[in-house]
């Protein structure tokens, strides 16, 4: 907020609990303040929705620790209270709303990934502007043409102090006697290049500082692989400091080692910190903002229906939201009517425990052993055969408040985010059906976030035709899925059936059964990310970590989608790129050419490898895949095949009719690039 806090705030809404309410105080959103109000594109009309307006400001919350709806918020009872016994917090917010809208429409809540706005880019082909104002920011404005009210509210307590990010101002928990709380915190790094200093923060977020730089709990280790033995770095060889213009500067949010840290090493620090934020208020902020939209006619973003959208980190947050029962508000009313949970895999996250670091995630070779991939994974209740624990994603949710849910993943999440766990048994032996309120969709072949086309030459693997990162653009089917979800929530129109790889069909397999074509310069993955059973100590059920790093139990099985003769995934939703192929779109990427273990998987990225253009090129490269010349007579033949694929996707409601030409234009550009090689 830094550049906006000096602005004049104007109060436009205030909702407080009625004095006539009997029992626990029920005060959720207690104030909305607007600092900026802008007519979008000078008042341009977006179809039947008319003109839009952008509002930015603050939203204020007050939570009752005695209310059962707040019982799962870790340390809420240890937070300071106001004169009414409530715990207060505030967050940044932004709203795009139709100026002429009533309160009978749909509010779309994008849960901001690390304080940013991804929605226009991922669904409208626009930009990720923090303050959208230009035509380019809104792309084709599909969301606005649908008449949606779009809301963002800060929920994450540790986002950087940046006017372009939405954050949450959460209180600090203290002991009942007023003494500071302390606890163990962990940070880790896969060192990309030789350095002497490393920040404790993950992704430039605000790190918990070391409480006592010389404390006995501060332990630094290095290791060579995910499960390799840790080697303790002698305490005399490192300190809490960083390199600065004037030399080495003491800093409790950095570590410094004079000999340096080697490229490729996994470095891990465990240290004691203090003054934990009540991170779980972020979940309540989402709940209460949407409840305010649905049930208070004075809300500036009032609507009849509420849909939540989360991508990656915030997709995991929405799974956590469901698991901890937050879809019921303080008055016992349903919050979200629909959720689109995108590229979350099997994860939840560090969203509601003492010293939570919400930015920390989990991949095969990055951000290790945080409380992200934790049982339960399926919406249906299961029993873990190792621990004997019985649980499910919906087990703690009021069954009358189940939203309509789309869980959408790409191929990467099966390789790097344990996605198979959301629809298989805990022992990996059988399929588990999603409940009637849920659909599961697999966007075959995609990496975590689509890369550019063409792939930059700088991303080519060493001594290979393959590229690190790949451009399969799954945004087209994702747009169609979103439109289907809106229709399901608003009109009751049932969406397409789930489409994902299954054990019983043979298109979900263990890694050793993957029928990957033996392409000489590609390499074959030998590992896949598995969710480890993690023991954080005896108080973990209370949201308190006593064991860092956690003790590891046996991992849960992880299965991957089967592939065709090109290496492209067969199950799920296959886009035009896979149905009219010119390349292999692999959702995994080996760390070839990177420091450290080159047999491990690169974070987030897939691999792109074009088909050989001619039979002569195929034979010269000893490539087992078919050549482009053997698949298509010419450009016209290829584009006819691409159109056929697009038409089939429209029939399945996996592509919007208005997006057919966009898909074909992209296909034509890909053909032209291959032809010019």
Q: What is the pLDDT of residues 21-47, one digit of tens each?
A: 223 334 489 999 999 999 999 999 999
Q: What is the pLDDT of residue 635?
A: 97
Tokens of 382: 């299961």
Q: What is the pLDDT of residue 521?
A: 86
- The CA-based dihedral angle spanning residues 268, 272, 278, 283, taken in that order and rounded to the nearest 10 degrees: 10
Q: What is the pLDDT of residues 539-572, one digit of tens each?
A: 999 999 999 999 999 999 999 999 999 999 999 9
Angle between helices 281-295 and 313-323 (to 10 degrees): 80
- The CA-based dihedral angle spanning residues 71, 74, 79, 81, taken in that order and rounded to the nearest 10 degrees: -20
Between vectors from CA 58 to CA 74 and to CA 148, what angle results, nearest 5°?
A: 95
Q: What is the pLDDT of residue 591?
A: 94
Q: What is the pLDDT of residue 15?
A: 33
Q: What is the pLDDT of residue 6?
A: 32
The mean predicted confidence, pLDDT, of the chain is 93
Between vectors from CA 191 to CA 128 and to CA 536, what angle results, nearest 5°?
A: 85
Q: What is the pLDDT of residue 1?
A: 37
| Residue 160 to residue 634: CA distance in whole angstroms | 52
Q: What is the pLDDT of residue 176?
A: 86
**pTM of the model as a whole:** 0.94
Nearest to 448 by CA among 408, 406, 416, 412: 412
Report the phi/psi class of residue 483: left, alpha or beta, with left for phi > 0 and alpha for psi in -120 to 50: alpha
Residues of the chain with pLDDT below 70 are 1-27, 102-103
Q: Where are the alpha helices (DSSP H) in 409-549?
A: 411-416, 475-491
């Amino acid at each position: 907020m830094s550049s906006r806090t000096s602005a004049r705030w104007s109060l436009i809404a205030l909702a407080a609990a009625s004095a006539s309410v009997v029992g626990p105080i029920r005060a959720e959103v207690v104030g909305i303040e607007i600092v900026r109000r802008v007519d979008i594109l000078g008042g341009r009309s977006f179809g039947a929705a008319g003109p839009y307006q952008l509002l930015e400001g603050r939203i204020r919350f007050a939570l009752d620790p005695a209310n059962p709806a707040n019982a799962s918020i870790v340390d809420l009872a240890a937070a300071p209270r106001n004169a009414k016994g409530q715990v207060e917090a505030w967050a940044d917010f932004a709203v795009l709303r139709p100026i002429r809208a009533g309160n009978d429409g749909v509010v779309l809540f994008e849960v901001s990934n690390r304080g940013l706005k991804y929605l226009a880019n991922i669904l409208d082909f626009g930009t990720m502007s923090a303050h959208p104002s230009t035509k380019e920011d809104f792309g084709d404005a599909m969301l606005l043409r649908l008449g949606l009210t779009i809301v963002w509210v800060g929920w994450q307590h540790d986002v950087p102090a940046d006017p372009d990010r939405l954050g949450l101002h959460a209180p600090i928990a203290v002991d009942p006697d007023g003494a500071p709380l302390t606890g163990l915190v962990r940070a880790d790094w896969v060192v990309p290049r030789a350095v002497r200093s490393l920040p404790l923060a993950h992704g430039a977020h605000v790190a918990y500082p070391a409480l006592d730089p010389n404390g006995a709990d501060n332990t630094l280790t290095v290791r060579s692989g995910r499960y390799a033995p840790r080697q303790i770095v002698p305490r005399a060889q490192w300190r809490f400091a960083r390199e600065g213009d004037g030399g080495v500067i003491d800093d409790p949010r950095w570590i410094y080692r004079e000999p340096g840290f080697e490229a490729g090493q996994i470095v891990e620090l465990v240290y004691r910190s203090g003054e934990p934020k009540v991170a779980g208020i972020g979940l309540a902020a989402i709940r209460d903002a949407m409840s305010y939209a649905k049930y208070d006619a004075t809300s500036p973003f009032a609507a009849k229906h509420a849909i939540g959208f989360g991508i990656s980190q915030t997709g995991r947050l929405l799974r956590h939201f469901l698991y901890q029962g937050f879809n019921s508000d303080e008055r016992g009313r349903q919050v979200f009517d629909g959720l689109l949970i995108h590229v979350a895999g099997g994860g939840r996250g560090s969203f509601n425990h003492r010293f939570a670091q919400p930015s920390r995630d989990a991949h095969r070779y990055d951000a290790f052993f945080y409380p992200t991939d934790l049982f339960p994974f399926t919406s249906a209740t299961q029993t873990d055969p190792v621990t004997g624990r019985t649980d499910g994603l919906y087990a703690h949710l009021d069954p009358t408040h189940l939203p309509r849910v789309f869980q959408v993943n790409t191929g990467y999440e099966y390789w790097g985010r344990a996605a198979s766990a959301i629809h298989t048994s805990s022992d990996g032996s059988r399929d588990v059906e999603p409940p009637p309120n849920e659909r599961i969709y697999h966007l075959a072949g995609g990496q975590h976030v689509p890369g550019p086309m063409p792939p930059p030459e700088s991303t080519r693997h060493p001594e290979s035709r393959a590229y690190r990162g790949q451009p399969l653009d799954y945004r087209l089917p994702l747009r169609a899925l979103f439109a289907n979800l809106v229709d399901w929530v608003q009109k009751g129109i049932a969406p397409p059936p789930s489409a994902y790889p299954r054990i019983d069909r043979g298109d979900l397999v263990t890694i050793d059964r993957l029928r990957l074509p033996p392409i000489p310069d590609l390499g074959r993955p030998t590992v896949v990310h598995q969710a480890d059973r993690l023991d954080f100590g005896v108080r973990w059920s209370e949201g308190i970590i006593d064991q860092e790093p956690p003790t590891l139990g046996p991992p849960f099985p992880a299965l991957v989608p089967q592939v065709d003769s090109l290496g492209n995934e067969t199950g799920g939703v296959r886009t035009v790129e896979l149905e009219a192929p010119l390349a292999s779109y692999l959702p995994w990427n080996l760390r070839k050419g990177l420091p450290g273990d080159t047999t491990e998987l690169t974070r987030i990225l897939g691999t792109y490898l074009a088909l050989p253009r001619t039979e002569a090129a195929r034979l010269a490269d000893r490539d087992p895949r078919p050549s482009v010349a053997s698949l298509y007579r010419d450009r016209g033949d290829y584009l006819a095949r691409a159109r056929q694929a697009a038409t089939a996707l429209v029939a399945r409601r996996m592509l919007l009719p208005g997006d057919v030409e966009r898909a074909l234009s992209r296909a034509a550009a890909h053909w032209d690039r291959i032809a010019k090689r």
